[in-house]
Structure 1
């Protein structure tokens, strides 16, 4: 309405782009032309056309993340600078797979405008809950969670509970079950309710209930889901998606580790939750949401997660958001790239919080980029496929590649010994820490740097040093 309110306004259109290659600008210009609410203008550049935009399809988010990192490693040989690379995604929760892939390859990274996945407050809260479930004597974790989400147990009440713990020489968790606590009636009721909930979750863990089932139960019963849904803000939606992605992390761990336990999972992520982010890094890959990419530019950009329901976001598809704003966001992300642009999407994703997978269609935005500007990947330089230890559950008839055991089984498992040095195609060099089981059920615990991983040897390709 600005032009209507000020009819004598003189409009200057800034149509020349000095940053990006010709192919990138033509792709972005054609994409944004699908928006109806915009000032008509034609973006152009006098820069060379450059490379075509690379479109790459993967089966899963794990494969997508490792495929991106594989390409970064290849291109790094020519640039010698990780700071030339940026990876964009629609929502914060998508960073987990990419972060894990970067760490497994020893590539430094930082998240612009946000926190690393395991540094996010809601993730730390849920990990603290799990710590108490595994070890009820962990009073530090208990103090973090007893009023998170808020349940009416304030600081004054907490000090009284801590006093009882000190005077009687018992753990804080044991205090919660004491009679005649000096608390208001309403607060006392909340304390007892919290104690009984935790006691039930502890008993489920002791009964070897599936860890992901305990975590799903926890997110609902502790009130996280209701708390974030009730707030109904974009930040709360992001935080709930992070929790759902945390469940996926545990489900992935269960897929990779037979008879997985909550204790083992917490040990596996302990380094991720305790390591400090290095503030003195000068050369690193940058990760960020597309919203945070405005005003920035990079030589080489990867845009991950270009599926319907991811980008555009499912809320937009359900009519709760602005599709044209999503398209503008895609335009911004594309035009952050100076020379090379890689677009990626997957064919299936795990349903949040379940062992089920659902097929995903490519984002409609991909169809709004002229085909002559796109080079679909056909070589092996950007492909990646992880063969699962066992086929995942599927909510529809997704064809799954069955493992060829003859190709992945070691030639002679009898020669393996503790302390032996091996090479894994994803994790690099490692040392065998322990061996258990026999035959196809024989398992090895292997340390790669500071990370320990468990493998079924019958289904794991290892090279010996």
Structure 2
């Protein structure tokens, strides 16, 4: 890395451009806004925008301290700062929206309000629980979590308690945790009251308060706008109305703005994110320069072809943007694999076997990931990997820099930075220090607490080697500085182990080998995705998963949940025409069999809708995915045959004795009310 970045950091400005492809160069030379960069997966968007900033600084178009680059994760912000440092640029602020806003609010609060800013809630749950008690509703842990998410959605969407009912009706937003919209509106009011009484604010308040401060105090706004004159916004397809409102205050009517995004990677609408601002950027700024990045440097042609074909089959959702068609730049790789397993256990074991084969042929375990739709799917893979003696880490667990062993190691390394022998190479000193924390040359085993501690220490050892490789005469102080910067950005070093992650958590990451598991109807798309818009978001989620793979990609599903169970699952409709040697999915296919109902696919839509509403309520009460109650095909069969006895229910495919025992009486009652 040092040999590549040093000339750019020290040489003339044109060397920065020489390191880019023609489209990336168009981004780097578009130094005045407005600029819209439509960047497909793996096309080098971070490289393009960091080189744009570096070229602007090197040519004198920007002063580095006047540039504010905002993104959505601390990891992405840390990566941007690292790349800018390697390009010889310091002083640029690269932060998340919240980090930038918190820094500014903390600075101006004493001047505008006086005293220290209010304490920020670590979690909404305690306040939600208290607000629920005040309005007289009973909530469990799951309901508290769902209601907290809904409060967050309302705030980032700039929907007040007074407007909540009307806003939900306008977009047909479903009920949350079984509570009607009026009750949730009351809860939002009570939530704000509890926060005020406790002199606390939440993370959304940080953005709201800063934006209001800038809008209502011109002298503060002028000070911020004189400081920051050039803005870069990464992942612009995920901007919420609240973030856009704050961005508008920062800009103050100016147009020195470069946005980067990809509508095909919009997967967070449930949090209030919207591609609207990216899709309408050209309308808002008619003179905007638009640059498309389509050269994919991440994935093989086999992976890119599948990703392109998946989006080419997109559905009828309103406002769906034409996707960027990626052009693979890597040499050909292995064909994409498609596997159908008998059951979930077989799928997990089969993937573990394939991972063992990949590792024996040279793929590091840290370059392998298993991705799935819901976090509840991880358990089977954890067990299968443990049984196979393969280390793993579940993304979304304890943050690296919060682990006790990492905190202890940092204390020791700080001491070593002051006392280390300068004649001893830095990586050797680090190894000597970490031996006292439990690190050894050989890993202790495939799983357990000892292995987890060793994995953390090994990540520090590996990072020490990387720092030494790119920094001449690197010292322990250099490593400690790197760790401090990474800790502030939550940019953890690589831990050895197969990554287990949900598709949402995998956004922004990539691996040499990716296993997309559970690509079946009910999981992909998820059962509660009922509108055209939500189903298309599920397609984009699968697209994100596919484009995480650099070289090896396998998509799989299990025909049954349990060994010996009925093979009622069907692979996702999104792969119609793409899954080899299999007919397209028919979600209401007539079933054969002497004891089963023969279906035509013509059913009572009103009854079907009532059954789905019942299923949603049951799923919320039991904290289970809706498809585990009854799948859509079973509901359609009920709405067609209108069974009024357990025996009639038993003739419907997918409804066995256990389902009848749990739900039979409720289903029959719904049918009878509908005039069965």
Quickly name the TM-score band, shorter chain normalised: 0.3 to 0.5
Larger radius of gyration: 2
TM-score (norm. length: structure 1)? 0.43
Q: Which has the higher contact order (CA 8 A, sep 6+)?
A: 1
Higher helix share: 2
